[in-house]
């Protein structure tokens, strides 16, 4: 939302807010308070409007205790909190969000996603860049998969996620793996939910069942099965 495109043209309507790189739009020697005004001005907000929204921004970021500390002493999570808080309070018509949300803690991520979903209901445009396929399905109504700058798939999020996983599998297979001594072979493997269902994905903390059929080609004493 700040630099000109390296090729082609981009047509936009309304204010653009972006959160594309950790610490982008912040000066490490300035305090959090000073950086709120700096970042807001870069995103097109007047000082008067920033004065009006300042308390809401700091409250959303949950860093009241550290707002007058230099941001060079902030953790990566604090950077994300403050950057996202400013971005969503400048009343953007278009919000660009890159992988940086992966840095924040789970509670703050949930709050950010709730704000993103609120923006969607208001008819704003969200451009969301991530490798987290669960978030793609939750947030996006259209998805595009890029590989080295080339569009590999575009359309319904579920379809694009499926193509993404196939691409990752093909890349993993291309690397090859240690075949081992084949004293024991894996005949088949399946993963189920705790209720026996076969969901497309699992979230952290979910219970799951791993079912494997193994074939012993030679006597093996005290076999150990581990999953990583």
Comparing CA positions, the residue from 124, 101, 98 lying closest to residue 111 is 101
pLDDT tens by residue, 140-157: 999 999 998 899 999 999
Q: Where in the chain is the domain with CATH 3.40.50.300?
A: 16-129
pLDDT tens by residue, 76-105: 888 888 988 998 998 899 988 887 666 667
Mean pLDDT, residues 168-197 taken together: 81
CB 157 within 8 A of CB 142: yes
Kindly report the average pLDDT of the chain as a whole number.
87
- Residue 146 neighbours by CB under 8 Å, 6+ apart: 152
Secondary structure of residue 169 in the 3-state scheme: helix
Q: Classify residue 89 as exposed, middle or buried by CB count within 10 Å of its CB (0-12, 13-18, 19+).
A: buried
- Residue 203 neighbours by CB under 8 Å, 6+ apart: 134
Q: Rounded to the nearest 10 degrees, what angle do helices 106-121 and 76-89 cross at?
A: 20
- What is the structure's pLDDT at 20? 75
**Separation between Cα atoms, residue 180 and residue 191, nearest integer Å:** 23
- What is the structure's pLDDT at 51? 96
- What is the structure's pLDDT at 224? 84
Secondary structure of residue 195 in the 3-state scheme: coil
**Separation between Cα atoms, residue 80 and residue 194, nearest integer Å:** 35
DSSP H helices, 31-142, are: 32-42, 47-61, 76-89, 106-121, 133-139
Secondary structure of residue 123 in the 3-state scheme: coil
CA 90 to mean position of chain CA atoms: 21
pLDDT tens by residue, 29-83: 999 999 999 999 988 889 999 999 999 999 999 999 999 999 999 988 888 889 8
Q: How many residues does the chain have?
A: 228
Among 1-10, 168-177, 178-187, where is mean pLDDT lowest? 168-177
CB 86 within 8 A of CB 43: yes
Secondary structure of residue 19 in the 3-state scheme: strand
Per DSSP, what are the bridge partners of residue 128? 97
Torsion angle of C-alpha atoms 222, 193, 128, 108, degrees rounded to 10:
-90
CATH architecture under which domain 16-129 falls: 3-Layer(aba) Sandwich (3.40)
pTM, whole model, 2 decimals? 0.66
């Amino acid at each position: 939302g700040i630099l000109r495109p390296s090729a082609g043209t981009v047509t936009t309507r309304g204010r653009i807010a972006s959160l594309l790189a950790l610490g982008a739009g912040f000066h490490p020697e300035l305090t959090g308070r000073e950086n709120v005004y700096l970042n807001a001005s870069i995103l097109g907000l007047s000082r008067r409007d920033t004065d009006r929204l300042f308390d809401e921004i700091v409250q959303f970021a949950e860093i009241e205790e550290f707002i007058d500390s230099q941001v060079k002493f902030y953790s990566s999570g604090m950077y994300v909190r403050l950057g996202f808080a400013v971005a969503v309070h400048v009343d953007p018509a278009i919000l660009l969000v890159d992988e940086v949300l992966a840095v924040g803690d789970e509670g703050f991520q949930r709050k950010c996603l709730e704000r993103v979903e609120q923006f969607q209901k208001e008819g704003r445009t969200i451009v969301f860049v991530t490798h987290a396929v669960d978030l793609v399905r939750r947030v996006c109504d259209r998805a595009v998969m890029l590989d080295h700058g080339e569009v590999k798939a575009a359309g319904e999020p579920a379809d694009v996620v499926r193509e993404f996983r196939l691409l990752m599998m093909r890349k993993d297979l291309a690397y090859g793996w240690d075949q081992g001594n084949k004293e024991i072979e894996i005949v088949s493997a399946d993963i189920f939910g705790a209720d026996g269902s076969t969901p497309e994905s699992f979230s952290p903390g979910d219970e799951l069942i791993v079912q494997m059929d193994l074939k012993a080609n030679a006597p093996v004493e005290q076999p150990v099965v581990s999953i990583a």
